[in-house]
Every structure is written in structure tokens, then in C-alpha cells.
Chain A
């Protein structure tokens, strides 16, 4: 980015209500530090509102999903392991979005899990959450609760898209509104 672009870049982040944005390799230390920064920033404006914890919680689930997924799917230090997290205020709502690369081979199962949670009603989501909570998880697998929990806390249905990049990799974006 050129120096002449910094001001317009800052303006653009401002008009889009961006509270926090990170683009790069997600490590556990980064998740901790960004999470703390996000909460401190929000607590100034919203004190003890459950909103702060909801936004923080979705950020953590998205960031850890990226970290876990790209760690398995791509070689360490491959730029494809980089992910994006952006939290913005849109009117009265907070929008927590993430982006990362996914192997095309994994897209079908990802879309299947997403369409299950996006088509479910509140009651169905609650039932799915409880079922998954008491399920036996094979060693090394994730608890499988993250997407369901995000769908439960999201005020609008969660939105996702998958943009094919090449024969092997697509870009996955996820939007949760609090």
C-alpha cells in the first residue's frame, strides 16, 4: 500500500464501522491478544452487556476454526494458512466475519454442515446443540459445536459463501450478526 492510500484506507475502515481487522496467520497467541483488544474496546462502550461476550465468542470460534482447519489443510508457513477476521459495527448490530482458504475437496462437507445450521429454526438449533453436546467425539476431531453455537447467537441467519480460486482451493467467507 502506498502512503497516499493510507488516509483513504483509514476512511474506508471508518465508514464501514470496522472495529477490529486482522489478516494473516492465526496463532493461539494472536487469538488471545486480538480477543482481549476487542473486549477492552467494546467494554468501554457497552460495559457489562452480554453483547460483548457474544461478539468475543463468535470471534474466538471463527478464529479457532480457521486455525484448526488451515493447520490440517495446508503446509506450515504456506500463505494459504492466512485468514481474515473483521468485526464491524453496522447500525445497532455487530457483524463478525471471517475468511480463509479451503481445499475444494472439503467444500462439500463444509457446505453440508452450514446448510444444516442455516436452515434450522431456533428450536432445531437448540436440539442440535444438545445432541452434539452429548455425542462421543473421536480423538483428534473437533467438538462440532462451533457453527451451531454461532447460528444460535446470530440475530440474522448466518451467511456464507464459497468462491472458487483454482482447481484445488476456494475462499470461504462467513458472516454472523450480533
Chain B
């Protein structure tokens, strides 16, 4: 799974060694549902495998509301897989000054039982 980033769509990349699917950048596509559909499909297949370890790393710096909705659906999908016993988790990455993204992460992860962590990146780090 690999999608190159554009001005309004996030870059998506899977690292097999760490079982991490990272979504980075900004997301305000013309059609968020279309953009997220292949990601949701890929995550669904991966999370349904018995040994399907998956860390979803979300390092977005801006999302429009339809992307937020798609991200919520993706997290819900992982939450359901987690409840079925899959080894899945979410890592929410934001820079220390980015309080909006922090608040958004807290809202999206508030109601899930899925293991999740917040990682605060210092401003001088890439």
C-alpha cells in the first residue's frame, strides 16, 4: 500500500518491518470517500488475517470534515478488529504546537477501546 502525497491528499505508506501503515500530510481531497476507500479496503483485509499485526500511524496536519469522517470510519474498523482479537493499534502523531490536531485525535479516539498512543513531535524534527 503506497500513495504519493499531493497538496490536498495525504501520503500513505506501509512499512512491512514495523507493520506500520502511516498516513501523513494534509487531507482535503475533492472526494474524501473515494480517496479513503482503497485504504479502508486494505486495512480491512490486513486486520482480518489471524496474524495481522497493524499499527496505524496518523500524522496528519490538517483534515477537512469529510476526511475526518473517513478517518473515524477507519478507526472504527480497526476498533472492531481489535475487539475480535486482532493485534492492531493507532499511533497519533502531532507537533507540539499543533493543538488542533491533538484535540481532533482525542475526539476520534475518545470512544474506542483500541490501544492508542499520542506521540508529540518536537518542532525541529521532521
How far is A36 from B29 in the complex, measured between Cα atoms in Å? 14
A50, A139, A145: the one contacting B66 at CB < 8 Å is A145
A31, A54, A133, A139: the one contacting B100 at CB < 8 Å is A54
Interface of chain B residues 76 through 92 with chain A (CB within 8 A) = 76
Which A residue sits closest to B76, measured CB to CB?
A: A134
How far is A104 from B63 in the complex, measured between Cα atoms in Å? 31
Given contacts A48-B97, A56-B62, A57-B64, contact A64 B28 (CB under 8 A): yes
Q: Determine whether the beta carbon of B100 is less than 8 Å from that of A145.
A: no
Q: Determine whether the beta carbon of A145 is less than 8 Å from that of B65.
A: yes
Q: Determine whether the beta carbon of A149 is less than 8 Å from that of B62.
A: no
Majority-rule SS of A interface residues? helix
Which of B70, B100, B107, B123 gathers most chain A CB within 10 Å? B100
Given contacts A48-B97, A64-B28, contact A143 B8 (CB under 8 A): no
Return chain B residues, CB-CB under 8 Å to A142.
66
Contact-residue size bin, chain B (C-beta under 8 Å from the other chain): 20 to 34
Counting CB contacts under 8 A, is B72 at the interface?
yes
Which of A35, A56, A130, A143 gathers most chain B CB within 10 Å? A143
Counting CB contacts under 8 A, is B30 at the interface?
yes
Q: Determine whether the beta carbon of B69 is less than 8 Å from that of A146.
A: no
How far is A60 from B66 in the complex, measured between Cα atoms in Å? 11
Counting CB contacts under 8 A, is B99 at the interface?
yes
Counting CB contacts under 8 A, is B125 at the interface?
no
Q: What 1/0 mask marks residues of chain A from 57 to 71 whose CB sits below 8 Å from any chain B CB?
A: 100110010010000
Q: Determine whether the beta carbon of A137 is less than 8 Å from that of B69.
A: yes
Return chain B residues, CB-CB under 8 Å to A146.
65
CB distance from B105 to the nearest CB of A (A): 13
Pairs A–B under 8 Å by Cβ, sample size 19: A28-B8, A31-B8, A32-B8, A36-B7, A50-B98, A50-B99, A53-B100, A56-B62, A60-B64, A64-B28, A64-B64, A64-B66, A67-B30, A130-B111, A133-B107, A133-B108, A134-B72, A142-B66, A143-B70
